[in-house]
Amino acid sequence: MPGRLCLLALFAAYIQGPAMKLADFPGAIAEMAHFGLQPAPVFAAGVICFELAASAMVVSGRGRVPAALALAAFTLAATFLALRFWQMPPGTERTGATNAFFEHIGLAGAFCYVALRERRS
């Protein structure tokens, strides 16, 4: 049970995020369009389904390795798409984006660790 709670905490953003996107689907579509992902409604729906399904797989233990690795790859791709701090002028926004960038790199590393640990079990 403690392990499952740790996994819930680790993947909380990938449970909460899609729930918020479902609650404000027009906002989710606008987010996809902001990042140039078209057709935005299809990307929004796909992201919601992917994040919820992969998180459920990791937490439940069914397909944990491929789901954790897929979320790690997704996180890296989204991080490089959304948090291009190196293109921002110096200031508060750049500092925030830099911190978020490296936090997401850490999350992706943790997801890979979950997959590696599962494979060794």
pTM of full prediction above 0.75: yes
49-84 pLDDT tens trace: 999 999 999 999 999 999 999 999 999 999 999 999
- Amino acid code (one letter) for 102: F
75-108 pLDDT tens trace: 999 999 999 999 999 999 999 999 999 999 999 9
CA dihedral 46, 54, 102, 110 (to 10 degrees): -170
pLDDT value for 120: 86
Tell me the C-alpha to C-alpha distance, in Å, between residue 39 and each of 24, 30, 47, 72, 83: 17, 11, 12, 24, 21
Whose tokens are 């990042």? That residue is 35
CA dihedral 42, 43, 45, 51 (to 10 degrees): 160
